[in-house]
């Protein structure tokens, strides 16, 4: 039984995170990925530590499994010829050089298309290939420029980056979507094409309701910590021993929360039989709860602080309400393991385990992962193979 991308050859001219994540995903799906690296130094992330493994930095290892590495100096005519031969045989090429760099080397799409009309050529940039082409694209800066920091962090604190290079990750996944769609279209047309993704557009596309809020009102959302701008309670709340993450998606769930906490009146409407009903603070509907969030949180935490978070998680989950502890990464992986999700995979060769490809398949079988390559580990065999007639 073959893997979904069995027989697809990927020439990986990318480095750091977005591009390498995209090409590793293709490798996970069965593609053969040849990673082109600079002699002597290789991918920048090989030096991005600590932490370190026995072979490289843990940063490099997390997005470079199941690839083969060839060291090529693209300023050297002989090495450049090898790179061009690889590109002419590839089904997919992924690159994240500064716009125009590969064109000057004869590795741009226009020139390679003449040699390999079926090539799917994916360019990853920070800010596109137009007016922003000269701007260096680093995730941290894009989080700032793209508005993500402005909605992340405490309301009275500084704008804060997300705890992982999320924009690179989103862009890498967008690149895979584009590549797979282009490969499918190639089956119909017989021709490849160039696709482009950039960090800023991927970030803006991920802002969903927050971007929609601005486009609907003309007002930019602000930071709310762990609170949600449109739903309540949808935040972290204090219990006796720490924080509880509680997500209430509708009024029926809130009624169940109120029952579990022994405060059913929080979800009750006004008494229609009262002679002169006093509406007071009402928490029955989601708009009520958002409007009166301060009173809502006070009422909930008054009860929550009487028990540990784990107790409330058990009770709330039992009635179909989403609640959970605030885990660290180790606890998160352990939790996934307890659920039978098999979150990690062994790659062998003395390398540490890695987080596995997240998709599972009913029929296709993915290839067993191989260790991230040492710099230039496969140079000799790849050069020899490219000298052979295709």
Distance from chain centroid for Cα 18: 9
**Is 92 in the same domain as 152?**
yes
Distance (Å, rounded) from C-alpha 254 to C-alpha 252? 5
What is d(CA 239, CA 311) in angstroms, rounded to the nearest whole number? 10
**Bridge pairing between strands 243-247 and 322-325:** antiparallel
Q: Could you tell me the pTM of the whole model?
A: 0.93
pLDDT of residue 390: 78
What is the reported pLDDT for 318?
98
How large is the average pLDDT for residues 292-313? 96
What pLDDT band is residue 2 in, cutting at 50, 70 and 90?
confident
Q: How confident is the model at residue 111 (pLDDT cuts 50, 70, 90)?
A: very high
On whether residue 160 sits in a domain, the answer given is: yes
50 with 182, same domain: the answer is yes
Q: What's the domain range around 33? A: 9-206+364-387
- The per-residue pLDDT for range 190-226, each reduced to its tens digit, is 999 999 999 999 999 999 999 999 999 999 999 999 9
Confidence of residue 131 (pLDDT cuts 50, 70, 90): very high
Q: Is 64 found in the same domain as 19?
A: yes
One domain, residues 17 and 134: yes
pLDDT band at 282 (very low <50, low <70, confident <90, very high): confident
- Chain-centroid distance of CA 290 in Å reads 29
Which pLDDT value is given to residue 279?
Answer: 52
Q: For residue 349, is it within any domain? A: no
Say what the pLDDT of residue 76 is: 97
Helix residue spans in the chain (DSSP H): 18-28, 58-61, 77-89, 101-104, 109-115, 139-145, 166-189, 199-206, 208-217, 251-260, 286-291, 293-304, 309-318, 329-338, 379-387
pLDDT digit string, tens, across residues 41-53: 999 999 999 999 9
pLDDT-derived band of residue 177, with 50, 70 and 90 as boundaries? Answer: very high
pLDDT at residue number 117: 98
Verify that 102 and 164 share a domain, yes or no.
yes
pLDDT band, very low/low/confident/very high, at 270 (cuts 50, 70, 90): low
What is the per-residue pLDDT across 40-94, written as a single tens digit (0 to 9) for each?
999 999 999 999 998 889 999 999 999 999 999 999 999 999 999 999 999 999 9
Same domain, 81 and 24: yes
pLDDT at 175 over 70: yes
Residues near 337 by beta carbon (within 8 Å), at least 6 away in sequence: 343, 344
Alpha carbon of residue 140 to chain centroid:
14
DSSP result, 186-202: HHHHS--EEEEEEHHHH
Catalytic residue numbers? 168
Place of tokens 């557009």: 201
Number of separate domains in the chain: 2
| Domain co-membership, 301 together with 376 | no
382 vs 21, 34, 71, 96, CA distance in Å? 22, 8, 10, 22
Whether the per-residue pLDDT at 276 is higher than 90: the answer is no
Q: What is the CATH number of the domain that holds 108?
A: 3.40.50.10540
In this prediction, residue 280 carries a pLDDT of 56
Q: Are residues 47 and 109 in the same domain?
A: yes
pLDDT of 102 reads: 97
Question: What mean pLDDT is reported for the chain?
Answer: 95
Predicted local confidence at residue 113, as pLDDT: 97
Q: Region 1-15: what's the mean pLDDT? A: 95
Q: Long-range contact list for 230-238, CB < 8 A, 24+ apart?
A: 230/290, 231/286, 231/290, 232/286, 232/289, 232/290, 232/293, 232/296, 233/257, 233/289, 233/296, 233/297, 233/300, 235/297, 236/326, 237/297, 237/300, 237/301, 237/304, 238/301, 238/304, 238/305
When pLDDT is averaged across residues 236-253 and rounded to a whole number, the result is 97
Same domain? 36 vs 133: yes
How far apart CA 64 and CA 12 sit, in angstroms, is 10
pLDDT at 135 over 70: yes
Residue 301 resides in a domain: yes
- The residues with which 50 forms a beta bridge, in sequence order, are none
Residue 253 has pLDDT above 60, yes or no: yes
**For 334-361, how does the pLDDT look when each residue is reduced to its tens digit (9 = 90+)?**
999 999 999 999 999 999 999 999 999 9
Q: CATH number of the domain that 305 lies in?
A: 3.30.1540.10
Residues 31 and 135 in one domain: yes
pLDDT at residue 123 is higher than 60:
yes
> What is the pLDDT, as a whole number, of residue 36?
98
Q: Does 377 have pLDDT greater than 90?
A: yes
- Say how far apart CA 233 and CA 231 lie, in whole Å: 6
Residues 6+ apart with CB under 8 A from 189: none
């Amino acid at each position: 039984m073959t893997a979904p991308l069995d027989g697809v050859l990927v020439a990986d001219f990318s480095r750091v995170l977005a591009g390498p994540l995209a090409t590793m995903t293709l490798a996970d799906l069965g593609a053969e990925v040849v990673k082109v690296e600079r002699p002597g130094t290789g991918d920048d992330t090989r030096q991005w530590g600590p932490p370190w493994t026995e072979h490289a930095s843990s940063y490099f290892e997390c997005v470079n499994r199941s690839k083969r590495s060839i060291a090529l100096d693209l300023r050297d005519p002989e090495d450049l010829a090898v790179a061009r031969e690889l590109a002419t045989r590839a089904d997919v090429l992924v690159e994240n050089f500064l716009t125009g760099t590969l064109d000057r080397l004869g590795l741009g799409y226009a020139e390679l298309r003449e040699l390999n009309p079926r090539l799917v050529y994916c360019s990853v940039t920070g800010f596109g290939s137009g007016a922003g082409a000269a701007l260096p694209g680093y995730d941290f800066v894009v989080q700032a420029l793209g508005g993500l920091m402005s909605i992340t962090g405490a309301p009275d604190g500084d704008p804060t980056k997300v705890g992982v290079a999320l924009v690179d990750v989103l862009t890498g996944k967008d690149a895979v979507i584009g590549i797979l769609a282009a490969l499918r279209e190639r089956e119909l047309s017989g021709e490849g094409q160039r696709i482009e993704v950039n960090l800023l557009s991927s970030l803006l596309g991920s802002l969903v309701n927050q971007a929609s809020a601005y486009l609907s009102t003309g007002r930019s959302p602000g930071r709310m910590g762990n609170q949600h701008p449109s739903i309540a309670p949808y935040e972290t709340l204090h219990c006796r021993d720490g924080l509880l993450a509680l997500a209430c998606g509708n009024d029926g769930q809130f009624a169940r929360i109120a029952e579990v906490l022994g405060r059913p009146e929080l979800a009750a409407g006004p008494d229609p039989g009262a002679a002169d009903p006093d509406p007071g603070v009402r928490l029955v509907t989601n708009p009520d709860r958002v409007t009166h969030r301060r009173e809502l949180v006070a009422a909930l935490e008054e009860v929550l602080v009487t028990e540990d978070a784990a107790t409330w998680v058990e009770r709330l989950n039992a009635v179909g309400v989403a609640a959970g502890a605030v885990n660290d990464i180790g606890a998160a992986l352990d939790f996934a393991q307890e659920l039978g999700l098999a979150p990690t995979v062994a790659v062998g060769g003395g390398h540490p385990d890695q987080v596995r490809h997240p998709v599972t398949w009913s029929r296709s079988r993915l290839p067993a992962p191989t260790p991230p390559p040492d710099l230039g580990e496969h140079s000799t065999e790849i050069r020899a193979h490219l000298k052979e007639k295709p």
